[in-house]
Amino acid sequence: MAKSPALAAASVTLQGKSSSLSANLRELINNTQFSDVSFVVGKERQMIHAHRCVLACRCKVFHSMFTHQLQGVQSPQELQIPFVLADMNPEVFLAVLEFIYTNSVTLTNQIALEVLTSAVEYGLDNLRKLCVDYIGQSLTVEMACEALQAAVTYGQTDLRQRCLTFIERHTPEIVKTQSFRELSDLGIVSILQSDRLSLDEGPLIQAVREWARVNSVVLDVPVSEVAQDAVRELRLFLLSPEELTALERENTKDELIPEIQIAQSWKFHALKKAIDSPHLFRRRKGTLPRDHHRYLDPPPK
């Protein structure tokens, strides 16, 4: 007997409301019911409960962690020993779990950067993208350099560019923040390479000097050593002869800038001709005009 068209039809997958699934899974976050794994998190040693199957299927890092644990256990009781995450903020870990269980995350400015760090470490790329988008849209003067540092450290190109664009618009305020002084050398170099900083070179050099002095104390190394990469990006050629003279006097106190670099600037004033490193002769967006600038390229628009 031939099958009817209805019976012969191919199977179809029908999609129910994803919101109800997400809501149900959300109830499992840090829920002791049916939990089979726990974590002791942060200095507070907060106990947080989870479910191995959920974590393992959503995160390769957890999958590897649990697989390694199962291979080494001698008794079922050993599986009850909690994992210790001493350096992690409990609020951050709960945000990571929220994403793992529900594919969504609740972020604030206070935890967003730490959640981004955890997303990278746990290989949660969709969570990383959500963090980058949130941070990029909620940048403030106080947190811009901290966000830039995270972007540089973890190779987040999109976030790095968003931070630089924000810093370029707010340079005078940015260089006064504590987070600017706490930048790594790679972080500050990425700022100094920009043509669009809205700050004149004199105040910018002074901000770099203050950054170097702070890091010299923290790292217990000379200012000149701390700043050796950063000072290569300072555009001394933009300074007037009077400013160069004042810079030389200030430089005797900490030797921030190598003498040869200052000598090259004097050579430019004598020859009125740009020499090596053409990018160091470019005016930034915030560069104030000086008489000798007529020998340089036009400033950026």
d(CA 301, CA 292): 19
pLDDT at 69: 85
Q: Give the C-alpha distances (Å, rounded to integers) separating 260 from 223, 255, 263, 265.
A: 17, 12, 5, 9
Read off the pLDDT band of 286 (50, 70, 90).
very high
pLDDT score for 228: 95
- DSSP annotation of 221 reads S
19 has a pLDDT exceeding 90: no
**How many residues belong to the chain?**
301
Chain segment 192-234, per-residue pLDDT in tens: 999 999 999 999 999 999 999 999 999 999 999 999 999 999 9
| Most trustworthy range by pLDDT among 37-51, 69-83, 271-285 | 37-51
Check if the beta carbon of residue 102 is closer than 8 Å to that of residue 22: yes
In percent, how much of the chain has pLDDT > 70? 94
pTM for the predicted model, two decimal places: 0.85
Q: Hey, which of 1-10, 62-71, 77-86, 162-171 has the most confident mean pLDDT?
A: 162-171
Q: Is the pLDDT of residue 241 over 90?
A: yes
Nearest to 37 by CA among 71, 74, 5, 69: 69
CB of 167 closer than 8 Å to CB of 191 = yes
User: How confident is the model at residue 2, as a pLDDT?
Assistant: 58
DSSP letter at 10 equals P
